[in-house]
Amino acid sequence: MADTTDEPRRRYPRLRLRTLLLALIGAGIVHICMTFTWPYLSTNAAVDRIAAALPPDVMRALPQPSPDGQVMPFQGPDSSYVACKFNVSEAAYAVRATLPEAGWTFSVHDARGDSVYVVTGQDQRRTDIAVLLLPPGEWFVGLLPEARLAAGFAQVSMPGSKGIVLVRAPNKGLAYKAEIEAELAKASCMPRRQ
């Protein structure tokens, strides 16, 4: 006669706490590694999408986002942008902009989208920006003709030859639209040759 007190056989083995902990740690490591390597593996970077919408060497206004699409990732209707794509492999670039108040930002990004230089507007103070973007490896422009070229500019050595400059202005409503557009139109971006 068969023993009726037998427990049914378990279909799944018992998970040990140590096995579960190692699986969680492994998943965390994979997640962190993918987060840091994704910009290198991605073929459609945000900088490429923005640069495709811009002519070279000219600061242009980016279109406002619509239900059909947006040029920048996470671009909302609460901000206006002007942008310039550049290539410092042949010449340095002189970039000028004014940040009239808090909420305005000026940023220089390399081809991967990493921020190279960022300035934010200050409350109740205008911030005038003059930046000379230099080719990779140049840290100081100290020769006589180049020193005249760089007078009055902050010098930024780019990690790569291509990138974009963005100036962001907060939209405060229709009453301020003309004033904001006039300030954004003052921004400039052009190659500087000796």
Which residues constitute the domain of residue 111? 46-192
Q: How far is CA 143 from CA 25, 151, 194, in A?
A: 54, 12, 11
Confidence band, pLDDT 50/70/90 cuts, at residue 12: low
The answer to whether residues 21 and 55 belong to one domain is no
What is the Cα–Cα distance from 74 to 53, expressed in whole angstroms?
16
Give 125's contacts (C-beta < 8 A, 6+ positions apart): 101
For 21, which DSSP code?
A: H
Q: How far is CA 86 from CA 72, 93, 124, 140, 165, in A?
A: 17, 7, 31, 20, 8
What is the Cα–Cα distance from 104 to 106, expressed in whole angstroms?
7
Give 168's contacts (C-beta < 8 A, 6+ positions apart): 79, 80, 81, 104, 105, 106, 107
The answer to whether residues 22 and 98 belong to one domain is no
- Asked, for residue 180, whether it belongs to a domain, the answer is yes
- Evaluate if residue 3 carries a pLDDT over 80: no
The answer to whether residues 26 and 55 belong to one domain is no
- Asked, for residue 6, whether it belongs to a domain, the answer is no
pLDDT of the residue at 14: 67
Mean pLDDT of 44-58: 79
- Of residues 76 and 32, more confidence is placed in 32
Q: In 42-134, where does DSSP find H-type helix?
A: 46-52
- Asked, for residue 1, whether it belongs to a domain, the answer is no
- Evaluate if residue 4 carries a pLDDT over 80: no
The answer to whether residues 40 and 107 belong to one domain is no
Lowest-pLDDT range of 16-30, 82-96, 136-150: 136-150
88-126 pLDDT, tens digit per residue, is 988 889 999 999 999 999 999 988 888 899 999 998 889
- Asked, for residue 9, whether it belongs to a domain, the answer is no
- Of residues 176 and 145, more confidence is placed in 176
- Asked, for residue 3, whether it belongs to a domain, the answer is no
- Of residues 77 and 147, more confidence is placed in 77
Element (H, E) at 177: helix 177-185
The answer to whether residues 50 and 40 belong to one domain is no
The answer to whether residues 83 and 37 belong to one domain is no
The answer to whether residues 36 and 112 belong to one domain is no
pLDDT of the residue at 66: 81
Q: How many domains does the chain have?
A: 2
pLDDT of the residue at 62: 85
- Asked, for residue 65, whether it belongs to a domain, the answer is yes
The answer to whether residues 80 and 152 belong to one domain is yes
What is the Cα–Cα distance from 74 to 151, expressed in whole angstroms?
37
The answer to whether residues 80 and 91 belong to one domain is yes
Q: What is the pTM of this model?
A: 0.72
Element (H, E) at 105: strand 105-110
Q: In 11-128, where does DSSP find H-type helix?
A: 17-41, 46-52
Choose the final residue of a domain: 5, 27, 44: 44
The answer to whether residues 33 and 93 belong to one domain is no
pLDDT of the residue at 143: 52
146-186 pLDDT, tens digit per residue, is 444 556 788 888 888 888 999 999 998 889 889 999 999 99
pLDDT of the residue at 144: 41
The answer to whether residues 27 and 81 belong to one domain is no
Confidence band, pLDDT 50/70/90 cuts, at residue 145: very low
The domain that holds 67 is classified in CATH as 2.60.40
The answer to whether residues 40 and 51 belong to one domain is no
What is the Cα–Cα distance from 106 to 129, expressed in whole angstroms?
8
Average pLDDT, the chain: 83
- Asked, for residue 8, whether it belongs to a domain, the answer is no
